[in-house]
Chains A and B, each alone.
Chain A
Amino acid sequence: MKTIIKTKKAQLRQSRPGFFTIIQSFLLSHWHYFTATMSQLSKTPVSTFMTSAALGIALALPAGLYEMMLSVQKVGNEFDNIHKISLFLKPDVSQEQAQKLQIKLKSSASISAVEYKDQKQALEEFKEFSGFGDAINALNDNPLPQVLIVEPSLMYLEPSNLEQLLVTLKQNPEVKTAQLDVQWLKKLFSLISLAKTGVLVISSLLGLAVLLIIGNTIRLDIENRRQEILVTKLIGGTNSFIRRPFLYLGIWYGLLGGILAIVLVDISFLIIKQPLSTLAELYQSDLLTLNSTEISHNIELLTISILLGLLGALIAVNQQLKKIEPT
């Protein structure tokens, strides 16, 4: 059995000797160009570094903004399901009356929970949130009213139902104002979506810049190797053969630029981290943090930067190769 298979394989190899050689030399030549372009780049470390650094900066900006946007969005998501209504009570309402109202509201079908905060609690909270602690300590009277925080039942979370509930709640004589917390959330979300569009615009522009930088670098390299390209064309080199080393050059620039961008983003985040955590503490949010970028995001960034490198090289090569013809 074994010998039969062996002879079959041997026959196959003999009947198509060219096939393996071609595949093998195809793969080998790609590997060859990958390493050859690397050593070409390492021969001119300064210009390689400068190009890569320009690419790294151009890539780091949108990558960093994107990462920041994600963490802001996370904070937003935390509040996504909280559509609470704050009832600020009239100053002459006693604590007893307030608690009575709390119990009354709790029994309503449209309300799932009611939290009571007396004036002191409200003040404490305000101090923490606003950061004006010392200024408030200086006040003699507590200017804040008692607050009932109403959490609507799940089925009342539709915006129209919420508005209805708000009106009903306002009709209680003890209530001075009723405020739907969702309003500032709406503002936050529209801000986030504005920021998203901004990041998209900046990313597109800087992506274009990356294409231009790589395209121009490759164009200069092609110009420098004009003679080599001419000779290669004269002895029967196909365009794809001539293109190959330049495409690998683009891939390398994309890779180096991407790596530098990751490093730059991580360094910037390290720098921002301290002030940011102070800010987060102030707002009592564990979510407002910037960690070094996730691996999966890094891989995405590298993929994008390599593709941009390849594309930039492709555009430059296709444009230039047409111009270089033997005469």
Chain B
Amino acid sequence: MIKFENVYKRYPGSKEALANVNLHLDKGEMAFLTGHSGAGKSTLLKLITLIERTTAGKLTVGGNQLDKVKSYSIPYIRRNIGIIFQDYQLLLDRTVFDNVALPLTISGFSKHEIRKRVSAALDKVGLLQFEKYLPVQLSGGEQQRVGIARAVVNKPAILLADEPTGSLDPELSKEIMSLFEQFNQVGVTVLIASHDLALINEMNKRIIRLEHGKVIS
């Protein structure tokens, strides 16, 4: 599903953030990405979502060779990937419902279909009763669950998360992780970048370690 072959990433004016990365994630696999600060975790996820482009090497995601993709097709590739951010990235002037509906609105779904799917996604993360709230009226953990609902409402094949529990307490973090596990169980490929070694070890999943831009295991 996700395949890095000799991938390099160099930001202009600095040394390599990723060097000769080889990595393969199968369809339906769940893995954690870890490493010291500055190891290149965020960079690796940004390459998959085409926020950054590879400097060299071959990167294939869901059958698309990303290093060959033209910029006008980037939006359509992103629609197959659900992204979850440490700072949630919710639109603060829209209700929970509208936030979760955004990916569907973008793809041109009918109102009826949007209502159906958003309700299902909010139900899945246990926030159905909050659909009319604004994000600021929710706690951090709840806001992150809104972010997750938005990421999965489109039924993407891949779910990526960069430090999704970075600002949550251990209890909430565990809840969020088990949500990811549930999506993985229905066939979604999941890749999560995290510092939280204790939590990761508990999950019993594949762990990919990065050090200075290189995969070490």
- Tell yes or no: B209 within 8 A of A by CB: no
| Contact between A236 and B51, CB atoms less than 8 A apart | no
Shortest A30–chain B CB gap in Å is 11
| Contact between B75 and A231, CB atoms less than 8 A apart | no
| Contact between A227 and B75, CB atoms less than 8 A apart | no
| Contact between B51 and A326, CB atoms less than 8 A apart | yes
Instruction: Knowing A228-B91, A234-B51, A235-B102, say if A25 contacts B75 (CB, 8 Å).
Output: no
- Tell yes or no: B79 within 8 A of A by CB: yes
Give Cα A232 to B83, complex, Å: 12
Of B77, B78, B79, B103, most buried by chain A (CB within 10 Å of CB) is B78
Shortest B164–chain A CB gap in Å is 15
- 7 additional A-B pairs beyond A235-B151, A236-B106, beta carbons within 8 Å, are A21-B108, A231-B91, A235-B106, A236-B103, A236-B154, A238-B106, A327-B52
How many residues on A have C-beta within 8 angstroms of the other chain's C-beta atoms? Answer: 23
| Contact between A232 and B102, CB atoms less than 8 A apart | yes
User: Interface on chain A toward B: helix, strand, loop, or mixed SS?
Assistant: helix
Of B75, B91, B102, B109, most buried by chain A (CB within 10 Å of CB) is B75
Shortest B93–chain A CB gap in Å is 8
234-273 of chain A: CB within 8 A of chain B: 234-239, 241
| Contact between B106 and A237, CB atoms less than 8 A apart | yes
What 1/0 flags go to A1-32 for Cβ under 8 Å of B?
00000000000000000000110111011000
Interface residues, chain A, with chain B CB atoms under 8 Å away? 21-22, 24-26, 28-29, 227-228, 230-239, 241, 325-327
Chain B residues near A22 (CB, 8 Å)? Answer: 108
| Contact between A25 and B89, CB atoms less than 8 A apart | no
| Contact between A234 and B83, CB atoms less than 8 A apart | yes
- Tell yes or no: B115 within 8 A of A by CB: no
| Contact between A241 and B106, CB atoms less than 8 A apart | yes
| Contact between A227 and B91, CB atoms less than 8 A apart | yes
| Contact between B75 and A21, CB atoms less than 8 A apart | no
| Contact between A236 and B108, CB atoms less than 8 A apart | no
Shortest A193–chain B CB gap in Å is 49
| Contact between B91 and A235, CB atoms less than 8 A apart | no
Shortest B87–chain A CB gap in Å is 11
Chain A residues near B108 (CB, 8 Å)? Answer: 21-22, 25-26, 29
16 residue pairs bridging A and B, Cβ less than 8 Å apart: A21-B109, A21-B110, A21-B113, A25-B110, A25-B111, A26-B108, A228-B91, A231-B90, A232-B102, A232-B106, A235-B78, A235-B79, A236-B103, A236-B107, A236-B154, A325-B51
Chain B residues near A26 (CB, 8 Å)? Answer: 108
Give Cα A232 to B91, complex, Å: 10
What 1/0 flags go to B78-94 for Cβ under 8 Å of A?
11000100000111000
Chain A residues near B75 (CB, 8 Å)? Answer: 233, 236-239, 241
- Tell yes or no: B150 within 8 A of A by CB: yes
Closest 4 CB pairs of A and B: A236-B79, A236-B78, A238-B75, A236-B75
